[in-house]
Amino acid sequence: MYRLLDRITRGLASADELAELESLAAMVRDTSLCGLGQGSPNPVFSTLRYFRDEYMAHIDDHVCPAGVCKMEPREAAVAAGEGAR
């Protein structure tokens, strides 16, 4: 999941990879033994619920609307701080 998110924040991911991220997150949530595992994909779910358009902007338009992520091939949009995890 981290790898997929990392690729998204660098503008390298495809829409398939977003679907992959969602299915992986659902599997981890549903099959885990303890609350740690069940809760670990929550950041993915909640950011997808409220900011799906921003995910899509990274993938389709190759821009980070918040100006946080360093997009890989194009040198634009460089800012301090952490990439959206």
Partner 1 sequence: MSVLTLTIEGRDVAGQTGGTILQVARENGIAIPTLCHLQGLSDVGACRLCVVEVEGQRKLLPACVTAIDEGMKVTVNSERLTAYRRRIVELLFTERNHVCSVCVADRNCELQDLAVELGLTHFDLPLLSPQASVDATHERFGIDHNRCVLCTRCVRVCDEIEGAHTWDVMGRGTEARLITDMGIPWGDSNTCTSCGKCVQVCPTGALFEKGRSVAEARRRRPYLPYLVAHEGRTR
Contacts to partner 1 by CB under 8 A: 3, 20, 23-24, 27, 30-33, 38
Least separation in angstroms between CB 18 and partner 1: 13
- Is the CB of 38 or the CB of 47 nearer to partner 1? 38
Least separation in angstroms between CB 5 and partner 1: 13
Contact 56, 50 (CB under 8 A): no
Alpha-carbon distance values, 42 to 18, 30, 67 (Å) = 15, 12, 23
Least separation in angstroms between CB 62 and partner 1: 22
- Is the CB of 31 or the CB of 82 nearer to partner 1? 31
Q: Please state, in angstroms and rounded to a whole number, the distance separating the CA atoms of residues 27 and 82.
A: 27
- Is the CB of 20 or the CB of 65 nearer to partner 1? 20
At CB < 8 A and 24+ separation, what contacts does 26-34 make?
28/1
